[in-house]
Each structure stands twice: as structure tokens, then as C-alpha cells.
């Protein structure tokens, strides 16, 4: 099955470079290009891509606003957003994750990592670069939007003990294989627990499941070594 990609970036040269790279892979194809967020939303509605590669800083409508608009449309529930940014700790990336982005990458990644990440996001197994993602989640949850919680504590209590355990480990950036080894389970069993937890918490993908885990208090953000408490 070919993964259909929409490119959203205001730099034509970057779009052309990404197109050449993506279409060099047999299982990926670029179906459209957008020069700003407004066009990205319109093209997503028209073409229903599997993945949108979304730049954050674009004229007219930025990537955060476009991400929120795409993720809010029920008909685009199968479209996943992969944010590309020059700065992985940009506050806007945190906002995009809250808005529904499935993952993010720095623009300095290798071609192999970009292609692999597109496939990962298309499969709904988001959270690329676990270390950077944990730092990002910790940062934006330090000042959460209280009106935008994805789940309440009582909703989390619908999870079984094992589902809570698996979700908490996923929120710490552990892969399915790592969780399986930690809990002495098969990776397939871990995947099943993740999928059931996503269904119960109405999370569109793994990235949103992790945000739920932090926002509901199932996992508590931890300061990173070398950071102060101020």
C-alpha cells in the first residue's frame, strides 16, 4: 500500500527536495504541495492524505493553526501530521502536539530518518525521537491549557491496570519492544494494550495517548538533568 503525503512548507526549494526524496521510495508518494497553512487544510480536505508534513512557521496561516484545523475534522481522522521544525524545542511544536500532531522532527534529520518517520506516523505509532518528545511534553505541560484537556482522571480509570502500566511506559518514551521486555510480554500483546487504551481515551494515535497520560496525571513530568526548578 502506497502512503500518500501532502507537503506543507512555504519554501518551494524545500518542497521540491522533499518531493524528490519521498518519491524515491517505492511505498511513498507526494499527492500535493501547500505553500501555507490555509492551502494545507484545503488540500487535505480534497486529497485525504495519509500524512501531512507540516512546517510550523508559514505566512497567512501557520502550521499550528493548520494542524488544529485538520485534526478537528472527523473526515480527516486517518490523516496524521508530522511536524518539521528548525528548532525541536520550539514552543510552537508543543502547541502543534496539543493540537493533534502525531510527531515532530528537526529539519536536520537524515533522509533515512525522514522516510522511516513518515511510515511510523502513517501507521499511527507516533512519538518520534522519544528523548526530545519527553522534554517537549514536560515543557508544554508546565503551562497546560486547562480548557483543552484530552482526558479527565475518571476517564483514565476506565483503563485496566495493565493498560495503565503500558500507557505510562509509552509516555516515558519506551518503544513496544522495550515495554514488552520490561513487562515480560510479547510486542503484539503490548500493541493490543496500546490500541485498547487509545480507543478508551479517544486518542487518535500514540502521540495523543501520551499527552493524555501526562494531562490526566497518570504520568508526572520530570525535570531533566541540568535543569533548574525555576
Kindly report, residue by residue over 108-126, the tens digit of the pLDDT: 888 998 998 899 888 876 5
- 126-179, pLDDT tens digit by residue? 554 555 555 555 555 555 554 444 445 677 888 999 999 999 888 877 888 889
- Of the candidate ranges 8-12, 15-19, 221-225, the one whose mean pLDDT is the lowest: 221-225
The pLDDT of residue 38:
96
- Say if 23 falls within a structural domain: yes
82 in the same domain as 150: no
pLDDT score at 130: 53
Domain count for the chain, please give it: 2
154 and 191 share one domain: yes
Does residue 109 lie in a domain region? yes
Backbone angles phi, psi at 30, to 5 degrees: -95, 120
pLDDT value for 147: 45
Percentage of the chain lying above the pLDDT 70 cut: 79
**pLDDT of 70:** 96
Is the domain of 27 the same as that of 121?
yes
Give the chain's largest Cα–Cα span. Answer: 50
With bands split at pLDDT 50, 70 and 90, how would you rate the model's confidence at 221? low
**Euclidean distance between CA atoms 12 and 60, whole angstroms:** 16
55 versus 215: the higher-pLDDT residue is 55
DSSP E strands: which ranges in the chain?
Answer: 3-8, 28-34, 51-55, 80-85, 103-106
Q: Do the domain assignments include residue 167?
A: yes
What number of CA atoms fall less than 13 Å from residue 228's CA on the CB side?
A: 1
What global pTM score does this model have? 0.69
pLDDT band at 50 (very low <50, low <70, confident <90, very high): very high
167 shares its domain with 197: yes
Same domain, 123 and 151: no
* Mean pLDDT for the stretch of residues 195-222: 79
% of the chain at pLDDT higher than 90 = 45
Return the CATH number at 162. 1.10.10.10
Q: Say if 222 falls within a structural domain.
A: no
Q: Which of 101, 128, 155 is the last residue of a domain?
A: 128
Residue scoring higher pLDDT (37 or 154): 37
* 140 inside domain: no
Distance CA 53, CA 44 (A): 11
**Domain extent for 168:** 146-215
Higher pLDDT, 99 or 36: 36
Residue 151 inside a domain? The answer is yes
Cell numbers 531533566 label which residue? 224
Q: Are residues 103 and 208 in the same domain?
A: no
- Say whether both 121 and 167 belong to one domain: no
Amino acid at each position: 500500500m502506497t502512503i500518500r503525503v501532502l507537503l506543507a512548507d512555504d519554501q518551494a526549494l524545500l518542497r521540491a527536495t522533499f518531493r524528490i526524496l519521498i518519491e524515491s521510495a517505492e511505498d511513498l508518494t507526494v499527492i500535493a504541495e501547500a505553500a501555507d497553512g490555509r492551502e494545507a487544510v484545503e488540500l487535505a480536505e480534497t486529497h485525504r492524505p495519509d500524512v501531512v508534513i507540516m512546517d510550523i512557521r508559514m505566512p497567512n496561516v501557520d502550521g499550528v493553526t493548520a494542524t488544529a484545523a485538520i485534526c478537528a475534522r472527523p473526515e480527516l481522522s486517518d490523516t496524521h501530521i508530522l511536524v518539521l521544525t528548525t528548532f525541536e524545542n520550539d514552543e510552537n511544536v508543543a502547541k502543534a502536539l496539543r493540537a493533534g500532531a502525531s510527531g515532530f522532527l528537526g529539519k536536520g534529520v537524515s533522509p533515512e530518518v525522514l522516510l522511516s518517520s513518515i511510515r511510523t506516523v502513517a501507521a499511527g505509532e507516533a512519538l518520534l525521537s522519544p528523548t526530545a518528545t519527553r522534554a517537549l511534553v514536560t515543557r508544554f505541560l508546565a503551562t497546560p491549557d486547562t480548557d483543552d484537556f484530552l482526558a479527565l482522571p475518571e476517564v483514565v480509570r476506565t483503563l485496566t491496570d495493565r493498560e495503565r502500566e503500558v500507557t505510562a511506559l509509552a509516555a516515558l518514551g519506551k518503544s513496544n519492544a522495550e515495554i514488552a521486555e520490561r513487562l515480560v510480554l510479547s510486542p503484539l500483546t503490548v500493541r493490543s494494550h496500546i490500541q485498547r487504551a487509545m480507543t478508551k481515551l479517544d486518542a487518535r494515535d500514540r502521540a495523543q495517548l501520551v499527552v493524555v497520560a501526562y494531562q490526566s496525571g497518570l504520568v508526572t513530568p520530570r525535570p531533566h538533568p541540568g535543569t533548574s526548578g525555576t
